[in-house]
C-alpha cells in the first residue's frame, strides 16, 4: 500500500471530523478563494470547480501531498442556489423557501497530487425532502444551532435532521460536507486503501 501525506483544504471542523473517520493521518489548511458563481455555470459545475480550486490553491505550499478539496451547493427545485446564509435573516429566508421542498445538495470533491498534478474530481448528489415548517419552528431551530456557515442553513449532524421528512442518496456524509465513499474510491484508485492501514 502506498503511503502519502494528506492535506484537507478546509478550515471546516465538520469536514475534519468526517475525514478522521477514515483513520488516515492528515493535516488541514484553509484555502483563500473567490467562491462567486461564474456566468452560465450550473450548480454541479460550481461545486466541482470550487472543490478543485480549494485544493489547487494550496498545491505550491504543500509539495509531496495529496490535497483534498470539497465544496457544497444547495439547489431548490427551480434551480435557485442556496449559499451559506451568513446571518439569521438570510437563514430564515432560506429555510422558509426550503419548507415542503425537495432540495438537492451537490458536493464537489477533488483530489490533487501536488507532485504529478494528477487530479480526480467527483460530484455527489444528495436529496432532502424538507418538512412543512412553521415560522416558529424555523426561528427556534436557528436560535438553537445558528447554522449560518452552512449551505442550506442547517446542521445535518445536529438538530437539523428534524427539519427533514426523508433523505435520498448514497452517502449522508456528503450532507455534512465531505462524501467519504467517493473519497475512499479516489484514494483506493491511487493505491491508498484505508482498510489496509
What is the set of active-site residues? 71
Which residues pair with residue 29 across a beta bridge?
A: 9
133, 137, 143, 147: CA torsion to nearest 10: -20
Residue appearing with cell numbers 488541514? 28
Specify whether the CB–CB gap between 172 and 156 falls below 8 A. Answer: yes
DSSP 101-122: -EEEEEEEEEEEETTT--EEEE
For 117, the enclosing helix (H) or strand (E) is none
Amino acid at each position: 500500500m502506498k503511503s502519502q501525506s494528506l492535506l484537507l483544504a478546509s478550515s471546516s471542523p465538520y469536514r475534519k471530523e468526517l475525514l478522521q473517520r477514515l483513520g488516515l493521518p492528515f493535516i488541514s489548511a484553509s484555502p483563500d478563494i473567490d467562491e462567486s458563481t461564474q456566468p452560465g455555470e450550473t450548480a454541479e459545475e460550481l461545486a466541482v470547480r470550487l472543490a478543485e480550486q480549494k485544493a489547487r490553491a494550496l498545491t505550491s505550499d504543500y509539495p509531496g501531498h495529496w490535497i483534498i478539496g470539497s465544496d457544497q451547493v444547495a439547489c431548490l427545485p427551480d434551480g435557485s442556489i442556496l449559499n451559506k446564509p451568513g446571518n439569521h435573516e438570510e437563514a430564515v429566508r432560506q429555510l422558509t423557501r426550503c419548507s415542503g421542498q425537495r432540495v438537492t445538495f451537490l458536493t464537489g470533491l477533488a483530489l490533487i497530487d501536488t507532485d504529478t498534478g494528477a487530479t480526480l474530481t467527483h460530484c455527489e448528489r444528495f436529496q432532502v425532502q424538507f418538512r412543512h415548517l412553521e415560522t416558529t419552528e424555523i426561528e427556534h431551530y436557528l436560535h438553537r444551532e445558528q447554522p449560518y456557515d452552512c449551505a442550506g442553513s442547517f446542521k445535518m449532524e445536529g438538530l437539523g435532521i428534524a427539519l427533514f421528512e426523508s433523505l435520498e442518496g448514497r452517502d449522508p456524509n456528503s450532507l455534512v460536507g465531505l462524501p467519504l465513499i467517493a473519497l475512499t474510491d479516489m484514494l483506493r484508485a491511487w493505491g491508498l486503501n484505508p482498510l489496509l492501514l
